[in-house]
Amino acid sequence: KVKIMYYHAPAKVNIFLKIVGTRGNYHELLSRFVRVPTLCDTLWFEPKKSTEPFELVGNFDCKIEDNTLYKAYTALCEEGFSKEVGAVMAELSLHVKKSIPTGAGLGGGSSDSATFLKMLNEQACLNLTCKELMEIGSRVGADVSFFASEALSANVSGIGEVVETYQEDALNIEVFTPKIACHTGKVYQTYREYFLQTMDTNQAQKMLSLPSTKLVEQFSKEELNDLYAPALKLYPELSLYAKEGWFFSGSGSSFFR
C-alpha cells in the first residue's frame, strides 16, 4: 500500500503592488508578497486508475492544457526530464483539494504549480535546487517563482520572476474574500487603459525597504495597490466590502488585515 503524503500550497497576499512599467502585453511591477500559511490548497499523489498520460483529480473548470498544473508538468518535460516525470505520471494521479478561492488575488493556482514542481522533483529524484525550480516556475506563471522560493516574505519585481527575500517577522494575516471572482487579465487591461498615467515609480521604490507592518500603517489601500482602482471600475460591487483597516490583495477580490 502506497503511503500518501499530503503537500500544502499556501496562499499569498500583496502588501503593496505598484506597476512601474510595461513589457509587451505584460506589466512590470514592484510588490511585497507575503505567505498566508493558514489558507492552503492540499495536493497529493494516488495510484492511478486510468490510462491517461496525465491524470488530474479535482474541481477544475478549464481544459487540462490550460491548467497551470499541466503547464508545470510540461515545463519539466521541456527542461529535459520528460522520461523521469512521465514515469511518475504513468503510475500516479495528482489530486488537488482547493481551499484558496479562484479569482481572489491570493495566488492559489501559482502556489499549486510550485508545490507540484516540488512533488515531481522529489518523486522523480530530479535533484533540482530551489533556484532551478524558481527559474522553471517563472515559465509556468507570474507568481510561481515566489512560491517555489519558499520565502515567507519577498520583494517581487519584473513580471514576477525576480524574487528577493525580505527579512521580517511572520505576520498574522486575516483574509476575507467576497463572492466575486476578479479576472486578472481584465483588471490589468483596465489599468493600462485608464490608469497608466497614475504610475508612480518613486513611491514604489520607497515602499520596497519598509516592513509590511509599517506599509499598512502609513498608506491606504488605494495607495498600496495600483490594481484596486481598475478592479473597482470593473467590479463596482467590491466597494461594498472595502472596510476601514482592510487592504486589497493583487488583482482582487480578497481583502486582508
Residues catalogued as catalytic: 12, 143
C-alpha cell, 153: 516574505
Beta pairing class for 26-47 and 153-158 = antiparallel
> What are 11's strand-pairing partners?
36
Between CA 207 and CA 205 the distance in angstroms is 5
Between CA 65 and CA 110 the distance in angstroms is 15
- Tell me phi and psi for residue 105, to 5 degrees: 75, 25
- Tell me phi and psi for residue 185, to 5 degrees: -60, -40
Coil, helix or strand at residue 145: helix
Coil, helix or strand at residue 167: coil
